[in-house]
């Protein structure tokens, strides 16, 4: 009998539905291949469910806040059971866009310029700061969300309306807008798995472009880059994976503009849905969905 796998799915973040989809698809694939898989919410019954099911590995299929920011990882540490993806510290760093970008800059990884905004400047002062440091348009985003939740491209006209609409975040990032091509890179442990290019019909690869089939984002693989440029972006992604201290699978999001790659962020728990990019890159490289899941489980087991 193959191992018992407990899948953490759902949660209370804005990415709950994506997490449920990931959890269901991973469970379906595991069961189909002889594993005993059970899905559980990260709720008040979590401890009881872990103790009664006695899993060999916990597959963390949570996305967003409390799932990939070090919070649930801190809770899982007490059970002494291997869990998938990155550990407490690397999860926390990767989810905090300000800290991770500062680490990228320190390690000479090209990333768009930015500053944090705490609703503490008058309108004219903010516009002047943007004109001086970044130029319009700019990208406005929370520091700790995934899946492009509440990410907006803003010009002078809609900037303050946008900022007002996300005022529940005490602090947001205002970032230089980089045009050009959307390139995503998957890393699998110490292996540069591959890249994929996205051509969204929308303004950029936002939440709808990621998860709404009607948004019709084109997925291009292989990516039309020279051999040297492809190696360059794969190398940058692996370097980011290492300097943040990640383990398991990660996906790094890049913009490619005027011959330069700009790393936007690194995702420690990329989605495992039918529209997800890491399984698509893996499949192109000859790694089936179940083989990818099994590798993630095996990698988690090495950590204990």
Express each pLDDT in 79-99 by its tens digit: 999 999 999 999 999 999 999
Percent of the chain with pLDDT over 70: 92
What is the rounded CA–CA span in Å between residue 185 and residue 206? 17
Q: How far apart are CA 268 and CA 75, in angstroms?
A: 17
For residue 242, the Cα-to-chain-centroid distance in whole angstroms is: 15
pLDDT of residue 209: 44
Q: Is the pLDDT of residue 2 over 90?
A: no
Q: Compute the average pLDDT of residues 13-28.
A: 92
Q: What is the pLDDT of residue 210?
A: 44
pLDDT tens per residue, range 149-190 = 678 999 988 898 998 888 888 788 899 999 999 999 999 999
CATH 3.30.470.20 placement within the chain: 94-110+179-302
Q: Is the pLDDT of residue 279 over 60?
A: yes
Q: Determine which of 133-142, 146-155, 288-297 has the lowest per-residue pLDDT on average.
A: 146-155
Q: For residue 58, what pLDDT band results from cuts at 50, 70 and 90?
A: very high
pLDDT category at 3 given cuts 50, 70, 90 is: confident
- The model's pLDDT over 184-210, given as tens digits with 9 standing for 90+, comes to 999 999 999 999 999 977 454 444 444
The reported pLDDT for the residue numbered 46 is: 95
Look at 36-40, 56-60, 142-146, 238-242 and tell me which has the smallest mean pLDDT. Answer: 142-146
- Superfamily of structural domain 114-176: ATP-grasp fold, A domain (3.30.1490.20)
Look at the alpha carbons of 290, 296, 302, 304 in this order and tell me if their dihedral is positive or negative: negative
Closest CA to 51 of 30, 78, 72: 78
Give the CATH number of domain 4-84: 3.40.50.20
Average pLDDT over residues 216-226: 91
Rounded to whole angstroms, the Cα distance separating 164 from 159 reads 9
Q: Where in the chain is the domain with CATH 3.30.1490.20?
A: 114-176
CA–CA dist 268, 246 (Å, integer): 7
Question: Average model confidence (pLDDT) for the chain?
Answer: 90
Q: State both tokens at 14.
A: 């804005």
What's the gap between Cα 11 and its chain centre? 16
Q: What is the CATH number of domain 94-110+179-302?
A: 3.30.470.20
Judged against a pLDDT cut of 80, whether residue 251 lies above it is answered with yes
Within the chain, all domains assigned CATH 3.40.50.20 are found at 4-84
Strands laid side by side in the 172-176 sheet: 114-117, 172-176, 138-142, 152-154
**The model's pTM:** 0.90
pLDDT of residue 75: 95
Q: Work out the average pLDDT over 226-245.
A: 98
User: 113-122, 196-205, 271-280: which has the minimum mean pLDDT?
Assistant: 196-205
Please identify every residue annotated as catalytic. 15, 147, 211, 251, 253, 265, 267, 271
Distances (CA, A) of 65 to 121, 195, 263: 27, 26, 21
């Amino acid at each position: 009998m193959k191992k018992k796998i407990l899948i953490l799915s759902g949660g209370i973040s804005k990415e709950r539905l994506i997490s449920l989809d990931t959890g269901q698809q991973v469970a379906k694939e595991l069961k189909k291949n002889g594993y005993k898989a059970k899905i559980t919410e990260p709720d008040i019954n979590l401890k009881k469910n872990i103790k009664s099911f006695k899993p060999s590995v916990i597959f963390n299929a949570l996305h967003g806040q409390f799932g990939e920011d070090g919070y649930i990882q801190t809770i899982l540490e007490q059970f002494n059971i291997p869990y998938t993806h990155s550990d407490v510290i690397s999860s926390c760093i990767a989810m905090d866009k300000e800290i991770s970008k500062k680490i990228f800059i320190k390690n000479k990884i090209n990333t768009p310029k930015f500053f944090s905004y705490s609703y503490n400047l008058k309108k004219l002062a903010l516009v002047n700061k943007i004109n001086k440091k970044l130029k319009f348009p700019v990208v406005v985003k929370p520091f700790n969300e995934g899946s492009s939740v509440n990410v907006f491209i803003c010009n002078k006209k809609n900037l303050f309306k946008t900022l007002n609409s996300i005022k529940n975040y005490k602090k947001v990032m205002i970032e230089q807008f980089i045009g050009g091509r959307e390139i995503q890179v998957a890393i699998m442990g110490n292996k540069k798995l591959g890249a994929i290019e996205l051509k969204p019909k929308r303004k950029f690869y936002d939440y709808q472009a990621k998860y709404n089939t009607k948004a019709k984002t084109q997925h291009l693989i292989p990516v039309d880059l020279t051999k040297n440029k492809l190696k360059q972006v794969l190398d940058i992604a692996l370097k980011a994976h290492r300097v943040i201290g990640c383990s398991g699978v990660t996906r790094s999001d890049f913009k490619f503009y005027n011959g330069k790659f700009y790393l936007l962020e690194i995702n420690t728990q990329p989605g495992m849905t039918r529209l997800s990019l890491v399984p698509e890159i893996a499949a192109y490289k000859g790694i089936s969905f179940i083989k990818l899941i099994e590798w993630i489980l095996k990698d988690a087991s090495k950590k204990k």
